[in-house]
A and B are shown apart, each in its own frame.
Chain A
């Protein structure tokens, strides 16, 4: 299997704090991490490779030079090859443009490395949170897709994906080539070995810039050609004025709560 995993470098949103005066996000000092869902996607690819050892896993990320850090992390965990997609022309792209650029970069890599059988994505990036780039890559390439994947296996070119649904899970069969997106499974992704980590640190990661993609349409990329525009951002209003009950005994606290809920006609 020739597999590709799309990974994004994201701020660790669990570490984000709000500036109480300016009411904005404080991004300084927030660590950049591999998008957790992309880690699950990489693990799913690695598990297929465990069973089919002649497989290759390539990782690709679009972002600034610093994004090489997550590519190196992916190399350390399970990937064999990595590409960074980076150019000023790509900046400010919304999901339609981002997915278009990634699909063009994928086609360019395929000219050298051969067609990918499966393209893996995370369900969503924890910063943009849209969950749109995976399905849109699939659409640009005209591939079928399965979203909300938990696990995947390959049997005679048929890919079987365990997909999370609103009331449980289903097994979906999908032909290759295809795009799969992954949500959080019940297991954690594997840790890198020291040996792989050292090799990854030394790895030379090729960069694909705008000029390296001869077939790309410049009218379909970047802030200017993105159909959606962020008009404004703001920090959500915290609900305030809640009543905290802390009486001498649990009995008294419950009595007070019960009375308040009854008065408010909640109970």
Chain B
């Protein structure tokens, strides 16, 4: 299809309570720069049910315009309804470029929409720029399990679309809301929605694991040796007010639930502080945490690859180190 504007769109995914997911708001920060570079407006697109909070958040984080589709059939995410709505909006307004957060839903929706529009989609980006030679968006993304980075252009198809990893960009400061709000009515007949959520299964643990929004994460790997080995990890997390993460080896061993897993097949996180305990630092683990502001590693093997990316590391036995560290922090905070 052809673009009708120079606008840059950010799809702001919503939670079921109508608030915006963090990643959508994060993407408005690079979106602002890219929209200016393209010479168009920064437009946030919000689809959901009862989404005033998300619309407001988009407005206070730099969007020039917010396009809203607010209706009951979008309360729960479904591939079919969201694809119909987002495709209809793109066809009506013709943006030059668009990005979506690379969440489970974003990676479900993005390819469906791109394919319906017969355009290109760059997956799971971690850096964005405008290509000087062509003026197109230069989407940079990891491939080969994080071993290789690729910069991708979509030179002749519109819109140029990318999904972007959560946690890569920081939320901007709140500013005065000057956004123009456009409400669109798009309805999807029930029979066009071909999937249905039959049951919601609770996770193994009672607590909700919110790794993506955590400021501090303390993670344990195979080095903790068993489910009881997570006790000193949890103790440290408790005094720091941190969330507990894990490597896949620990999850696959059944020591902790998958909701805690960080990495290529787990969560991508970017906390202020990430403490890796008994984790070797495989490339697939790094894929989920290398964007952390500060990485601390505790490992008894001085050659463990985790030390290559750690800002600070202790070579030592985690069962000796963690209790002392916990005590030290407790003392300092008392």
Secondary structure of the B side of the interface?
Answer: mixed
Determine the chain B residues whose CB is within 8 A of the CB of A231 once the complex forms.
131, 138, 151-153
Determine the chain B residues whose CB is within 8 A of the CB of A146 once the complex forms.
195
With A168-B202, A258-B328 as known contacts, state yes or no: A228 contacts B120, CB within 8 Å: yes
Determine the chain A residues whose CB is within 8 A of the CB of B283 once the complex forms.
13-14
A257's contact among B142, B155, B203, B314, by CB below 8 Å, is which?
A: B314
Determine the chain A residues whose CB is within 8 A of the CB of B272 once the complex forms.
266
With A138-B112, A168-B200 as known contacts, state yes or no: A254 contacts B309, CB within 8 Å: no
B108's contact among A94, A147, A186, by CB below 8 Å, is which?
A: A147
B307 contacts chain A at the CB level, 8 A cutoff: yes
Are the C-beta atoms of B196 and A173 separated by less than 8 Å?
yes
**Contact indicator per residue, chain A 92-111, by CB within 8 Å of chain B (1) or not (0):** 00111001000000000000
A50 contacts chain B at the CB level, 8 A cutoff: no
Name which residue of chain A comes closest to B110, CB basis. A132
Q: Which of A11, A126, A130, A260 has the largest number of chain B CB atoms within 10 A?
A: A130
Chain B, interface size category, equals: 35 or more
Q: Among residues 216 to 243 in chain A, which have CB atoms less than 8 Å away from a CB atom of chain B?
A: 226-236, 238-240, 242-243
Tell me the number of A-to-B contacts counted with CB atoms below 8 Å.
247
A21 contacts chain B at the CB level, 8 A cutoff: no
Are the C-beta atoms of B316 and A253 separated by less than 8 Å?
yes
* Whole-angstrom distance between the Cβ of B70 and the nearest chain A Cβ: 22
Secondary structure of the A side of the interface?
Answer: mixed
Q: Among residues 234 to 267 in chain A, which have CB atoms less than 8 Å away from a CB atom of chain B?
A: 234-236, 238-240, 242-246, 250-251, 253-255, 257-258, 260-262, 264, 266-267
With A250-B316, A257-B314 as known contacts, state yes or no: A145 contacts B108, CB within 8 Å: yes
* Whole-angstrom distance between the Cβ of B181 and the nearest chain A Cβ: 28
Q: What are 23 residue pairs bridging A and B, where the CB atoms are less than 8 Å apart in the complex?
A: A14-B145, A14-B282, A16-B147, A25-B147, A127-B144, A135-B79, A139-B112, A144-B79, A144-B195, A147-B108, A166-B267, A167-B203, A168-B202, A171-B198, A172-B196, A186-B252, A238-B308, A242-B309, A244-B307, A250-B314, A250-B324, A258-B332, A266-B293
Identify the A interface with B (CB < 8 A).
11, 13-14, 16, 18, 25, 94-96, 99, 126-136, 138-140, 144-148, 160, 162, 164-175, 178, 183-184, 186, 226-236, 238-240, 242-246, 250-251, 253-255, 257-258, 260-262, 264, 266-267
Identify the B interface with A (CB < 8 A).
79-80, 83, 103-104, 107-108, 110-112, 114-116, 118-124, 131, 138, 141-157, 194-203, 208-209, 212, 252, 254, 258-259, 265, 267, 272-273, 282-284, 290, 293-296, 302, 307-317, 320-321, 324-325, 328-329, 332
